[in-house]
Amino acid sequence: MGRVLVQVMPKPEILDPQGKAVSAALPRLGLEGFTDVRQGKRFELVVEGPVTPAVLEQARRAASTLLANPVIEDVVSVTDADAAGA
Amino acid sequence: MKIGVVTFPGTLDDRDAARAVVRGGGEAVALWHADADLRGVDAVVLPGGFSYGDYLRAGAIASIAPVMGPVVEAARGGMPVLGICNGFQVLCEAGLLPGALVRNDVRTFVCRDQRLRVEDASTAWTSAFETGQEIVVPLKNGEGGYNADERTLDELEGEGRVVFRYLGGNPNGSQRDIAGVRDASGRVVGLMPHPEHATEPGYGPTEHGGGASGDGTDGLGFFTSVLTALTSA
């Protein structure tokens, strides 16, 4: 069983109200010093067999067509979850 | 003239939209998200509320629902399509309209009677208005911030495709106060505010003097306009 990780973030120029809300809440827990928070998404796509180059290509297509909206989001990475350094 | 109103799982305003169609003089036809069938309608309204839990992004999963195949095809062939609120989000996600809607910059859901300026009265859904006319319809959304890159925004402005702009304060951080846009043909229009909730005296907006109509029925013009567009086509 293989897993592909897809990470998506709001584009830097897009306002991220979720991140702002989290950012404003942290000091209430005494967690000072974080000047900004941005919130994105992590997807785990599971396949039967190993993560082959073809599987990664399919995952990249999934990322660019559905998982992220290129108008407001960037696909940060599409990687094999079990590969070294992933 | 038959105007289809699509119901997705989570749609809230399909009944109001169907009622608005009838009040405008059309025949409302219920369309179902899981049927790739437009049942012979002449135009389509994608109403507001939510769809598929708005999982992933508002309107994202609805944009590839079975019913959207024929909606996209018909829209590209010139069928009038109006997307209201979640329906606007669906049209953007489906690529029929440019841009995307993100969470309100104020970080709260906003519900109020909203003043708008009609910037383009040439579309299939706005011909009953005058360009520059001010109208009042309800606004109710959490993810109404209209976003597109600067080049797209400049194109929209240059081609006169901004159809509605917010007046009296930008409620959600929409770029350039954009409340609604159209496609190149003027047959496909999307907006965040809700004209279908402003078609019946006593049930529409009461603030701002009830709008141009004076009785909270400024939204009716959307549903009479489309009949004009269909009969003159």
pLDDT tens for chain B, 233 residues long, are: 999 999 999 999 999 999 999 999 999 999 999 999 999 999 999 999 999 999 999 999 999 999 999 999 999 999 999 999 999 999 999 999 999 999 999 999 999 999 999 999 999 999 999 999 999 999 999 999 999 999 999 999 999 999 999 999 999 999 999 999 999 999 999 999 999 999 999 999 999 999 999 999 999 999 999 999 999 86
Say whether B92 and A71 touch across the interface (CB within 8 A): yes
Pairing between strand A2-10 and A41-47?
Answer: antiparallel
| B196 is annotated as an active-site residue | yes
Global pTM value: 0.95
Say whether A15 and B100 touch across the interface (CB within 8 A): no
| B85 is annotated as an active-site residue | yes
- Give the pLDDT of residue A85: 57
Which candidate in B93, B119, B143, B196 is catalytic?
A: B196
Among A20, A21, A72, the residue with its CB nearest the CB of B102 is: A72
Which candidate in B33, B119, B194, B197 is catalytic?
A: B194
Pairing between strand B162-166 and B178-182?
Answer: antiparallel
- pLDDT bin (cut points 50, 70, 90) of residue A83 is confident
CA A10 to chain B, closest CA, distance in angstroms equals 10
Structure tokens at B155: 């194109």
Among A17, A66, A72, the residue with its CB nearest the CB of B147 is: A72
- Give the pLDDT of residue B44: 98
The complex's ipTM? 0.90
Say whether A17 and B104 touch across the interface (CB within 8 A): yes
User: Collapsing DSSP states into helix, strand and coil, what is residue A1?
Assistant: coil
Helix axes B14-24, B220-232, angle to 10 degrees: 60
Among A17, A67, A69, the residue with its CB nearest the CB of B103 is: A17
Say whether A17 and B149 touch across the interface (CB within 8 A): no
Nearest CA in chain A to B104: A17
DSSP of chain B:
-EEEEEE-TTB-SHHHHHHHHHHHT-EEEEEETT----TT-SEEEE-SB-SGGG-SSTTTTGGGSTTHHHHHHHHHTT--EEEETHHHHHHHHTTSSSSEEE--TTSS-EEEEEEEEE--TTSTTTTTSPTT-EEEEEEEESS-EEE--HHHHHHHHHTT-EEEEE-SS-SS--GGGEEEEE-TTSSEEEESS-GGGSSSTTTS--SGGGSTTSSS-TTHHHHHHHHHHHHH-
Which chain A positions have a beta carbon within 8 Å of B147's beta carbon? 14, 71-72
The string of pLDDT tens digits covering residues A1-39 is 999 999 999 999 999 999 999 999 999 999 999 999 999
Q: Does B153 touch chain A (CB under 8 A)?
A: no
